[in-house]
Copies of this chain bind each other. A is one copy, B any other.
Amino acid sequence: MDLTELVEQLPDGSVLTDPDLTASYRQDWARDPDAGSPLAVVRATSTEHVQTVMRWATAHHVPVVPRGAGSGLSGGATAVDGGIVLTTERMRDITIDPVTRTAVVQPGLLNAEVKRAVAEHDLWYPPDPSSFEICSIGGNTATNAGGLCCVKYGVTTDYVLGMQVVLADGTAVRLGGPRLKDVAGLSLTKLFVGSEGTLGIITEITLRLIPAQPKQATVVATFSTMEDATGAILDITRSLRPSMLEFMDKVAINAVEDAMNMGLDRTAEALLIARSDSPGAFAASEAATMEAACSAHNAAEVFSTEDAEEGEAFCAARRFAIPAVERKGSLLLEDVGVPLPQLPDLVNGIAAIAAERDVMVSVIAHAGDGNTHPLIVYNADDAAMTERAHLAFGEIMDLAIALGGTITGEHGVGRLKKAWLPDYLGEDVMELTRRIKHALDPDGILNPGAIL
């Protein structure tokens, strides 16, 4: 495929074709072994460049895989053979309006950079994936990313007021905008959030911001059974709105303890980290309520602190759980969610799958909203074990579906989970999905192979 026409329409250095340079754009963090070799990587710096790429791609029937920071965990940005990888990493502008509490951001900015920029105005952009230091706001929007504070503050879609999106044919449209309430026409902004680059390429996002988060009080509790931990989770979420409610199992506790030496109880089966950011003295009062809920459910140890630094240390431990477990081997990172009462059945079922497949599975979770991350640990040099790990990966999704849960709570379907999507959605909803995809991308050039 001759790229001359495309290269000529873009600034110098926008188009990479040297395999040494394009290699790092072939995969995201899902490390999809089936990743293709792209024709080229285009580093766009403006909406117009994205339009140029899409017009060219439509004219030549070339697939385009949009890519943010490449930190996706479901293979949503896996390159396809003969396609373009279009990265928005160089689109990094932000304009903050403290009066309307909105920010207009380009997709390449990292989540943490958005947080820091708005914090200078005493404002807060809540969604906080564990990867917030390295994931992009564009990727967050394309996957409807979640995080730790979502149990109280909601997920990405709850903060996206509008966007500019480039459609398959290169048309750039503006959806929504800096209006806090707007019901004029179909909810197209919401449709594009979480569409994983299959309907269009998001080139600008208008975010709703809220006042800075108050100081948080933190409760840490350990339990000797999953049932007790779940009992505490249900009691807490029924009586108040924690600003964080996280779970780690024994494997994760020990992996973190190995790495960080925090004095965590290595014999505990479950650890909860719960926080309250209610204003003033009420954070401590809610912390006391959460402590009482943990004690009522036979917590082995309960610890509470209003010290911000100490609280952050526990949150950092939770955020570090994935890399800590990763030291034990290669990871398949799951993202299944269930209605809260099914949490023990899910965790126990996962343990059974791990035993059956003879692989280690550690479970960490955004417990307050039933969203778990089973981490399947395996030796990638062991082909048989690798195969068993992948079987366990699928069986965990089957289990989640059987328990009335979802195959992905916040990472997206991408390419790794699409084989399970029909089981979850059913044929009628798949058909509905295909109709919308076809209406917006009739030639199927936008991120082909993702979701569908």
Contacts and interface: CB of A to CB of B under 8 A. Distances in A.
B451 A185 contact: yes
A15 interface: no
Task: Point out which of A180, A234, A239 has the most chain B C-beta atoms below 10 A from its C-beta.
Answer: A180
Interface string A66-110: 000000000000000000000000000000001111100000000
A158 B158 contact: yes
A184 B282 contact: no
Ranked nearest first, the 7 interchain pairs of A and B with the lowest CB-CB distance are A190-B190, A180-B369, A439-B439, A181-B409, A182-B406, A435-B439, A279-B282
A411 interface: yes
A260 interface: no
Contact of A440 (B143, B435, B437): B435
A25 to B, nearest CB: 23
A337 B408 contact: no
Contact of A337 (B179, B411, B425): B179
B278 A281 contact: no
A304 interface: no
Interface in A385-439: 404-413, 417, 421, 424-426, 428-429, 432-433, 435-439
A241 interface: yes
A210 interface: yes
How big is the A interface, by class?
Answer: 35 or more
18 contacts: A101-B238, A150-B181, A157-B190, A179-B404, A180-B369, A181-B410, A183-B412, A184-B408, A185-B429, A186-B199, A186-B433, A187-B191, A190-B190, A190-B191, A211-B239, A211-B241, A278-B280, A438-B439
Contact of A413 (B157, B183, B237): B183
B404 A370 contact: no
A183 B143 contact: yes
A401 B97 CA distance: 20
Given A155-B181, A188-B191, 15 more contacts: A144-B183, A146-B183, A150-B181, A151-B180, A158-B158, A173-B432, A178-B404, A179-B405, A180-B369, A181-B366, A184-B413, A186-B194, A188-B429, A211-B240, A278-B282
